[in-house]
Amino acid sequence: MKCVIGIGGVTNGGKTTLTNRLIKSLPNCCVVHQDDFFKKPDQIEVGEDGFRQWDVITALDMESMVNTIRGWTENPVKFAHSHGVNVSPSTEVADPEQQIHILIVEGFLLYNYKPLMDVYNKCYYISIPYEECKRRRSTRQYTVPDPPGLFEGHVWPMYLKHRNEMVESCLDIAYLDGLKSKEDLYSQVESDVSVLGSSPLAATARAQPEINRTSHPRGIRSRWRNTQERVRLPKEAPARLPTVLVSGLSRSSQAVGSRRGGRNPARDDVSLPVRRQVSASRVRSEEITHGRGTNQARHEKPEASTQAPTSGVKNQGTADFLPVKPRHQWEWHSCHQHYHSMVAFSNYDLLDVITGRKVAEGHKASFCLEDTSCDPRGLGPGCYDTYIANIDCQWIDITDVPMGNYIIF
Ligand SMILES: Nc1ncnc2c1ncn2[C@@H]1O[C@H](COP(=O)(O)OP(=O)(O)O)[C@@H](O)[C@H]1O
Ligand SMILES: NC(=O)c1ccc[n+]([C@@H]2O[C@H](COP(=O)(O)O)[C@@H](O)[C@H]2O)c1
């Protein structure tokens, strides 16, 4: 029986500490650290904000990480041997399917990479508040030290962005409060894991004294994904789908494309990211024009509003990024004074910079996505489209938002 446990969470939340404690007590337990898959500094892009973009998925060699996890899935005993992990003697001889094998995958961006989403039998996510995170981070030495302002300007905004995306992905995640003591966090996870020991498949593992089988609250068992299912990983590295880059921040869209001009049988599967950070720019109180009064009309600009910043959308993939709707179905938007080929491309909300709480909601922004630089049909590979900030109807109503520091997501 194989079981993959994800220990995800904010930087310095205590992921490594918890993982190290677990591997000491769990039988036949291997670990994959996401940090080991960071690309070299010269391969990390520098954003418009001047910071190296360490906290985005493209800073990591995720294909290599998937391959490593696949290696464990295919032969956990061999994997354990090659990683210096002792396996219990009975495991050496018995049918591997009748033994417990655990893999802990630990990292800050575990649940934002589609090929890995189905891999976990159990997902944990550790959070700590902004001030504590900043404090812990200030004492940490990474291979490349943090330049001044990186935490506030890049690390934390990216954490909020990815956490929001993760929440929207509806993965079944158990949230852990990283302010709890190290021992409390360990006990909480260990009591979940001990459920494994009571599974009929784990009969042989029951004899192992190092699993402390504490009683567990009702219902926890059902929160485990079926560990008898085989861990699913893509057979090959994911195809290079059209990927779009917005304002220097990239994330794979889940779009399936075709060669330019060709038929695209999967067009209706094109699912665009509905939420995208357009910039980590801070909306300072003095930048917000405050006026009272409400204005609920959908396309009427309220007295107090802030405008979404300019966003550039670039197709970084190798296939076309095409609208789902044919041209005759595109809608004329009088507010923007142009046609829209897709209803909802992005959604800008205003979040409190520290708590990440949504304080004001922008409406869904639709786009027509035509090449600014190349051909006027969709976005070809390497082409981009720009939506400048002064295009109307990209505002967020901040009439009822108190003065403060916010991020537009
Ligand atoms: N539960 C906890 N309470 C207080 N400090 C903790 C806790 N867990 C970890 N730490 C401390 O926080 C720092 C970061 O921990 P680490 O496990 O390396 O975090 P991560 O792997 O999530 O980046 C370390 O100094 C560690 O000792
Ligand atoms: N390991 C490295 O090479 C390296 C370099 C620069 C920054 N980082 C930082 O590592 C963090 C993720 O790791 P932790 O979750 O262990 O803190 C990211 O926030 C990133 O900024 C790592």
More confident residue, 150 or 333: 150
- Mutation probe of ligand 2 site: the residue of 7, 11, 104, 154 with most atoms within 8 A of C-beta: 11
Q: How confident is the model at residue 399 (pLDDT cuts 50, 70, 90)?
A: confident
Statement: residue 186 has pLDDT above 60: yes
More confident residue, 314 or 150: 150
Please identify which of the residues 35, 118, 352, 371 carries the catalytic annotation. 35
For the stretch 337-362, pLDDT in tens is 666 666 666 666 777 777 777 888 77
Which residue's alpha carbon is at the smallest distance from atom 26 of ligand 1?
A: 14
Choose the weakest-confidence range: 101-105, 242-246, 269-273, 329-333.
Answer: 269-273
Most confident of 42-51, 96-105, 266-275: 42-51
Q: What is the pLDDT of residue 309?
A: 63
Strands 342-352 and 122-127: unpaired
More confident residue, 119 or 221: 119
Which residue's alpha carbon is at the smallest distance from atom 15 of ligand 1?
A: 14
Ligand 1 neighbourhood includes 11 CB (under 6 angstroms):
yes
Taking the centre of ligand 1 as the mean of its atom positions, its distance from the CA of residue 321, in whole angstroms, is 42
Statement: residue 99 has pLDDT above 60: yes
For the stretch 34-90, pLDDT in tens is 999 999 999 999 998 999 999 999 999 999 999 999 999 999 999 999 888 888 776
Contacts of 382 (CB under 8 A, 6+ apart): 314, 315, 316, 374
- The ligand 2 site (C-beta within 6 Å) comprises 11-12, 15, 35, 38, 54-55, 108, 142-144, 155
More confident residue, 150 or 229: 150
Q: What is the pLDDT of residue 244?
A: 41
More confident residue, 355 or 207: 355
- Of 211, 89, 208, nearest in space to 80 by CA: 89
Ligand 1 neighbourhood includes 185 CB (under 6 angstroms):
yes
Helix ranges restricted to H, 153-219: 156-168, 182-197
Angle at 23 between CA 22 and CA 27, to 5 degrees: 105
Give pairs for 324-327: CB < 8 Å, separation 24+: 324/267, 324/268, 324/270
Question: Over pLDDT 90: what percentage of the chain?
Answer: 39
Ligand 1 neighbourhood includes 2 CB (under 6 angstroms):
no
Provide the Cα torsion 169, 280, 321, 377; round to 10°: 140
Q: Whose structure tokens read 């400048």? A: 388
- Of 346, 394, 347, 349, nearest in space to 369 by CA: 346
User: What DSSP element (H or E) covers 29?
Assistant: strand 29-33
Q: Is 35 among the catalytic positions? A: yes
User: What DSSP element (H or E) covers 246?
Assistant: strand 243-246
| Whole-angstrom distance, CA of residue 356 vs CA of residue 359 | 9
Q: What is the CB neighbour count within 10 angstroms for residue 301?
A: 14
Do 267 and 325 meet the contact criterion of CB atoms below 8 Å apart? no
Q: What is the pLDDT of residue 336?
A: 61
Q: What is the pLDDT of residue 372?
A: 57
Q: Which atom of ligand 1 is nearest to the CA of 9?
A: 22
Taking the centre of ligand 2 as the mean of its atom positions, its distance from the CA of residue 27, in whole angstroms, is 28
ipTM: 0.99
Ligand 1 neighbourhood includes 17 CB (under 6 angstroms):
yes
